[in-house]
Each structure stands twice: as C-alpha cells, then as structure tokens.
Structure 1
Amino acid sequence: MTARGLALLVAAGVLLAAGFRYGYPDLALLGAAAGLAVAAAAGFAAWRPRLRVNRVAEPERVARGEPARITLTVRNGSRWRAATLLAVDRCGPSTVPVPLLRLRPGRDTSTGYPVPTHRRGLVPVGPLAVTRRDPLGLITLNRVYGETVTVRVYPRIHPLRAVPAGLTRSLDGRADRAPYGSITFDSLREYVPGDELRRIHWRSSAKVGELMVREQVDTAEPVLVVLLDDRASAHTGESFEHACEAAASVITAAVREALPVSLHLVASPGGGAFLDVLTEVTLGDGDLGGTVRRLRAQRSGDTLVFLTGPGGRGDLGAVSGLHGTYPVVVAGLLGDRDAAPEPSAAGMIVVEAADGAEFATAWDGVRGW
C-alpha cells in the first residue's frame, strides 16, 4: 500500500467513526466511499496476469569484452484480459525496462538488450519483475516471473606460441619433456575383457584369486602446473584480472598442444573446469607457504607457472625453492613491471607485464621453452 492509499484508509476510518458517532451521514458516506476505493484498488492490483517468460542468452559463455545479448519473450497467457504493466528485467547490477503496453490475450512481445561483459565473473539475468498498480495509485503489487539465466564472462585469452617442455634430454638428442622417465607402473586393477594378456600381473592375481592388470602411465609428457595467487594482499588495482587472463592463456595453450595441465589456487579450493574456476574465483586470504609445501609433496608436474601481482614480488624466493622439485619454474608478475626482481628468486624465469596482452608478448619472447 502506497502512502496515498494508507492515508485514504486512515481517512476512511476517521470519517466513518465521526459520521456514526456524531450523526453526520455525509461524513459516513465519504468514509464508505474512501473504503470502497481502497478495496477496489486492492482487487485491481491483486489480479495476477498469466505471463509466460522465455529468456535466451546468446551466448551463455563469453570472453571478457566480447558481445553477449539477451532475448526476452513475454507471452500473455490470459484468455480475456489484456495486460498493461510496468516490468523491469534484472541484468547483473542494473535493471532494464521491458515495455508491456496492451499485451493482448494469447499474444507475445519480444525485446533484446546487451549483457555487460566488461568485468569477469557471473552475470545473473532475471527474473522479470512486474509491477501492478491501480489507477489511483493506492496499492502497488510486485511479482516476479521466469527463471534466472547466468552468463559466464571468462577472462580474456591471449594466444601463446609455445609452452614449456621440461629440461632433460634423451639419449637420441631430443627434449624428453619430463625428468623422471617414460612408461612407469601406476596401480593394479581387475581384468576386463579386451585387456592385453601381457599386462596381467600373475603374482598379484594368484594372491587375490582373480586376474589383476598393471596400469601404466606415460611420464614422458610434460605436465604444467599453474599456480594462481588469489590472495588479496598480492594484488592492487586490476592486477588480479590480468593474472586471471595470464592463467587462462597458459592453460589454453597447453590444452591446444594436448599437454596435461592442472590449476591450483592459494586462497580458494578450486576444482571444476579451468575456465569456470577462473571465472568465479575472487580474492581472499590464503597461506602461500602451505601451498608451496603441498606442491612440493605432490610433485604433480615438471613445469610450475606462478602468477601473482605486485604484492607477491617478495614471495618469489619461497616459490623458487620449488626448483628442485619442478625443473622449470616460471613466475609471472602482473601489474608492476618496473621494479627489479627479488635477488632470492634464483633459478626462476621471471616474466613481468602490465597486463595480460603484454604478458603474452613477454612469454613468447622467452627463449628456452
């Protein structure tokens, strides 16, 4: 109920009370008319239009800065009454007006508008908020229609021409791409039809009582480990956005070359598709020392790429301590390329850049991949 409607309702009560108390029928009549007006307004606003809302995002996944558009279709499912409503659709932090003027029964209307993609993250779109108001402005009723669509805005991806390939050399002179050998034993599993008989481990099969097969892995492939520093203390300004772009660029280059890659975060648990993680990650508080110890214990690759901001410059020494575990350690410093690297970051390749595009250029300029 609006302020006007509340005032009219109070006036109706006062007029009715005064009219009956002091015997003034005119006042009682005015009070009754005011009360009927409020009741009629409530009935008018309470009518629920039967709207069917269909919302389509094209596309639902988009890189930062690329265009995306919402197409909204509203259909009046009522059989007799036309709908004239005030409606707005939520699009991220803002709202978009949707014209619904004299929408006839059984008819629909469509409208479209762009999605803001200037920031990385999730952009929720919807639901449609419909305002129903009586002609006198006494009562306003808000309802929502339709489901919410989420548009994922990925970080920008800058093409990289090369990815690290390890340090060791094989006897025939080519890069072996990993320091620990080639085909190695990994685990045992039960035999399934189609397995090669030469891979059956007969001694274990005799102990277990059923055929067991050796699982082997090829460790000759280079494995990239990308460590994104998502600590709030490590970044200033837009440096975290640039670090996310660098991480997305490195991961995309590795996937393009069909190389195994893993993504780790300092302050967040991570998990899921790489681009989805990079879309949803936000700054937080984390322990870089604990992450370094975990990566040393896991020994999950042969190339480590550490991406941080200006505040992480002093932590390069701690990350360079992983050089014994990972033959290649690369550090990307985003957002501050003017200061000199820490002298304790020995054995580490340092790539400094102001943003993601400059990082890609500096990365391609590194010799020795």
Structure 2
Amino acid sequence: MPTTRGRATAAAGAALAAAGLVLGHPELTLLGVLAITAVAAALTQVHRPTPLTATRVLAARRTTPGTALDVVLHLTARHPTQVTERIDGPDGLTHRPLPDPHTHPGPSTYQITADRRGTLDLGPVRTLRTDPLGLAAATRHHGGTDRIWVHPPTHRLHPAPGGTLPDHDGGTDAARTGGLTFHGLRDHVPGDDLRQVHWRASARHGRLLVREHVDTSHPRLLVLVDEHTPNRDALDEIAAAAASLLITALRAGHGCELHLCGGRRHTVHAGSATGATVVLDALAELIPTPTDPVRACRLLATRPPADTAVLLTASTDTATLAAFAALSAHHRTLVAALIGAPTTTAHPGVRLLHAATAADFARQWNRT
C-alpha cells in the first residue's frame, strides 16, 4: 500500500496534472503524470512475491517466569528484505527485528524471557518490502506459529489431608482400597476425553454423556479457580496458588481435579506421567474472564466426593461462599482462599484463608 510519502506524491501529481490541463501548461500535466506513474510503479514493485522460507526451532516449549529460552530461526531469502518475528505474550504484542537472511545467511538465534505467567505465541515471520523512493510498502507473513507456555511459579506446601473411605460403622477410614471404578454417567463438558463418551446412552438421551470413574485407592484434591479477577496480577497469584496445590498433590501420589469457573475441567489420576503438564498449561492460559462461580460450585456437587476441595478467588461475594459451603455434605474438607480480597466472614464448614499473595497463601496453608 502507499506510504505517507506515496500518498502525498500521488495527491500532488493529481493536483499538478489537473492544474496543467486547466491552465494549459503541458509541463505541469507531465510532472503530475510522472508522479502518479512513480507511485504506481512502486506499488507494482513491492507487491511482487517475496520468496522466503522460515523454520523455527525451540529449546523448550514450557518454562517459568524469568527463565531465558533460545529460539533458532532458519531463514532463506532471494532478495534483501526487512524481517521481524511476531511475539504475542502476556505483556502485549511486539515485533522483534531479525537479520536480513539474504545478506546474513545462516541460523538466526535470539533469547526470549517472559516476566510473568502466560503464553508466548511466536510467529509468523513478517517481511517488509519497500521501493527505493519509499513511496509504497507491503508486508507478508511466512511460516507457522509456535506456542510457549510460561507456567506459574509454585510454592512448597504440606499435602492435603489423606483419603478416607466409609467404614462399616458409618465413620471414615484412611485405608486404601480398590482402584479405578465406574461411578456413573454425566453430561459432557469442555475438556472431557472423547474416549469416555458413552455413545449408546448419548444416542438414547439425545445429548453427549460420558463415563465417570473414581480412583478409590488414592486421596483426591479438587481445586476450583475463579478467573473473574480485577486484573491480571491478581489472577497470577491465584494461578500460582492453584499450581502449588496441584503439584504438591501429584508429587504425593494423589489424584486431583482442576475446575475453572469459566467451564473447563481437567482430571489427573494418581501416577499420571503428563498430569502436571496438563494442569500447568491450563493455568498458564488463564486470563481474567467473567464467570458464574455460584453455578460452578453447584456443579461440583455432581462430581465424585473429594477429600479436600479448595476455592481460589479474589472475590468476597457472599453468594459464592454460601454455594461453596453447601458442598460440605459432599466433600470432606472445604477451604476457601481469598487471595488479594478484603476480609470477610467465614461460613460454617469452610476453612477460610485470607492471603495477599500466593506466597502468603502457602505460609498460611502450612501453618495448620
């Protein structure tokens, strides 16, 4: 498209040509036509295809805040061109200049560091082509994109209380028994494994139903995250607290579930080799989003009973805390952690923690 100079040149050329025709000065008309022709030639030149290939190699696809990663780009070009790498991260969109692959052949390496939790989307590579007079410019995109997950930091926590099972006297027993057993059928929600869909029952009821299994041999931790926060800083602290809880549970050999008030859910069975990556990726992708935490709390009543259910939120909404407290008959231990939120009154059956940051949450969690 024409640059600012190109548009000014075309406008001036049109004015000169019109003036020459009106005043009867062919010289002015010629100058005007030449100016317009120059802009048209520049547009033709910059819109010619720019042959360029781009291949990106990443040292790792998952990292933590403050850790530098090497990115290697293999670029080839037949003509000199301006090349930039598109980087869309937690701090916004930037374009990183790269050496001209025509004049500097060979791999191009740079380091990238994320200062906070989130995702980094690299690419595509952008080329900018201009004419010698600067009358026109055209950008094109080459290659694909790659994502880097910046996981939230974790803090050392004491594991949640151990698993319990009903005994014959109506009490509870901490002994392990059984294994992965069928619990029932429920409606499909985003994030469910399609391999667990019960197709015959789904066809009979006219909606997707999935098999629900319970691991009766391991304690279970359920973490509910409210993504509705006043800013991204508050959500970063909540994500770090959730990551600390989930990673501690997995390292202790416990099964766990991550529920987002926005609707997504991730279940990780004890001993899963990829469970930590799944939940940390989900926490890295969190962004502040309007949610319905009351509805999310009610949905937890349809889940298999957990030994410990934890609500992480930056809100002191009484309706949310009341809905969470209503789960006391379903889940053994309830903990509501208000991170960065004002002090509020506790509800019966709920252990309430007030913390300014994830580190403060960890200190309070370990204190009891």
> Same fold by TM-score, threshold 0.5 exceeded?
yes
The answer to which of 321-330 and 24-33 deviates more is 24-33
Report the residue type matching 2:86 in the other structure.
Answer: R
Q: 2:100 is paired with a residue of what secondary structure?
A: strand
Rounded to whole Å, the distance in 1 between the matches of 2:319 and 2:231 is: 14
In the alignment of these two chains, the number of paired residues is 323
Rounded to whole Å, the distance in 1 between the matches of 2:41 and 2:215 is: 78
The answer to which of 38-47 and 15-24 deviates more is 15-24
Question: Closer, same or farther in 2 for the Cα pair 1:11/1:329, shift >3 Å?
Answer: closer
Tell me by how many angstroms 1:177 deviates: 3.4
Rounded to whole Å, the distance in 2 between the matches of 1:3 and 1:266 is: 48
Rounded to whole Å, the distance in 1 between the matches of 2:323 and 2:182 is: 31
Give the alignment partner of residue 238 of structure 1, picking from 233, 241, 265.
233
Larger Rg: 1
Tell me by how many angstroms 1:255 deviates: 1.3
Tell me by how many angstroms 1:23 deviates: 7.0
Q: Is the 8 A contact 2:154 2:244 kept in 1?
A: yes
Rounded to whole Å, the distance in 2 between the matches of 1:183 and 1:125 is: 43
Report whether the alignment pairs 1:266 with 2:264.
no
Q: Is the 8 A contact 1:121 1:280 kept in 2?
A: yes
In the alignment, what sits opposite 2:351?
349
What do residues 24-62 of structure 1 show as CA deviations (whole Å, max 9, x unaligned)?
Answer: 564455455435533442343234332111223332211
Give runs of aligned pairs for residues 123-272 of structure 1, distance below 5 A. 123-166=120-163, 176-177=173-174, 182=178, 186=182, 219-232=216-229, 238-271=233-266
Report whether the alignment pairs 1:361 with 2:366.
no
Report the residue type matching 2:365 in the other structure.
Answer: W
What do residues 140-186 of structure 1 show as CA deviations (whole Å, max 9, x unaligned)?
Answer: 12212221222212211223242221466979xxx94379x757974
Report the residue type matching 2:35 in the other structure.
Answer: A
Structure 1 gaps, min length 5: 189-215
Structure 2 gaps, min length 5: 185-212, 268-277
Q: 1:330 is paired with a residue of what secondary structure?
A: strand
Q: Is the 8 A contact 1:227 1:266 kept in 2?
A: yes
Report whether the alignment pairs 1:54 with 2:55.
yes
Give runs of aligned pairs for residues 89-100 of structure 1, distance below 5 A. 89-92=85-88, 93-100=93-100
Q: 1:311 is paired with a residue of what secondary structure?
A: coil
Q: 2:301 is paired with a residue of what secondary structure?
A: helix
Question: Closer, same or farther in 2 for the Cα pair 1:294/1:41, shift >3 Å?
Answer: closer
Tell me by how many angstroms 1:286 deviates: 3.1
Question: Closer, same or farther in 2 for the Cα pair 1:260/1:278, shift >3 Å?
Answer: same
Q: Is the 8 A contact 2:336 2:351 kept in 1?
A: yes
Question: Closer, same or farther in 2 for the Cα pair 1:136/1:319, shift >3 Å?
Answer: same
Question: Closer, same or farther in 2 for the Cα pair 1:159/1:26, shift >3 Å?
Answer: same
Q: Is the 8 A contact 1:317 1:346 kept in 2?
A: no
Question: Closer, same or farther in 2 for the Cα pair 1:99/1:183, shift >3 Å?
Answer: closer
Q: 1:108 is paired with a residue of what secondary structure?
A: coil
Question: Closer, same or farther in 2 for the Cα pair 1:26/1:183, shift >3 Å?
Answer: closer
Relative to the length of structure 2, the TM-score reads 0.74
Rounded to whole Å, the distance in 2 between the matches of 1:167 and 1:101 is: 63
Give the alignment partner of residue 321 of structure 1, picking from 326, 341, 353.
326
Q: Is the 8 A contact 1:270 1:277 kept in 2?
A: no
Report the residue type matching 2:64 in the other structure.
Answer: A
Report the residue type matching 2:67 in the other structure.
Answer: E
Question: Closer, same or farther in 2 for the Cα pair 1:347/1:132, shift >3 Å?
Answer: same
Rounded to whole Å, the distance in 1 between the matches of 2:41 and 2:178 is: 82
Report the residue type matching 1:108 in the other structure.
Answer: G
In the alignment, what sits opposite 1:88?
84
Report whether the alignment pairs 1:303 with 2:308.
yes
Q: 1:297 is paired with a residue of what secondary structure?
A: coil
Q: 2:153 is paired with a residue of what secondary structure?
A: coil
Q: 2:135 is paired with a residue of what secondary structure?
A: coil
In the alignment, what sits opposite 2:71?
70
In the alignment, what sits opposite 2:106?
108
Question: Closer, same or farther in 2 for the Cα pair 1:322/1:11, shift >3 Å?
Answer: closer
Q: 2:123 is paired with a residue of what secondary structure?
A: strand
Relative to the length of structure 1, the TM-score reads 0.73
Q: 2:68 is paired with a residue of what secondary structure?
A: coil
Give runs of aligned pairs for residues 273-284 of structure 1, distance below 5 A. 273-284=278-289
Rounded to whole Å, the distance in 2 between the matches of 1:10 and 1:142 is: 23
Rounded to whole Å, the distance in 1 between the matches of 2:140 and 2:351 is: 57
Question: Closer, same or farther in 2 for the Cα pair 1:102/1:222, shift >3 Å?
Answer: closer
Q: Is the 8 A contact 1:2 1:137 kept in 2?
A: yes
Tell me by how many angstroms 1:263 deviates: 1.3
Report the residue type matching 2:174 in the other structure.
Answer: R
Tell me by how many angstroms 1:109 deviates: 4.9
Rounded to whole Å, the distance in 2 between the matches of 1:53 and 1:242 is: 37
Instruction: Calculate percent identity across the aligned residue pairs.
Output: 30
What do residues 110-143 of structure 1 show as CA deviations (whole Å, max 9, x unaligned)?
Answer: 141324x223222222222221111111111221
Q: Is the 8 A contact 2:16 2:31 kept in 1?
A: yes
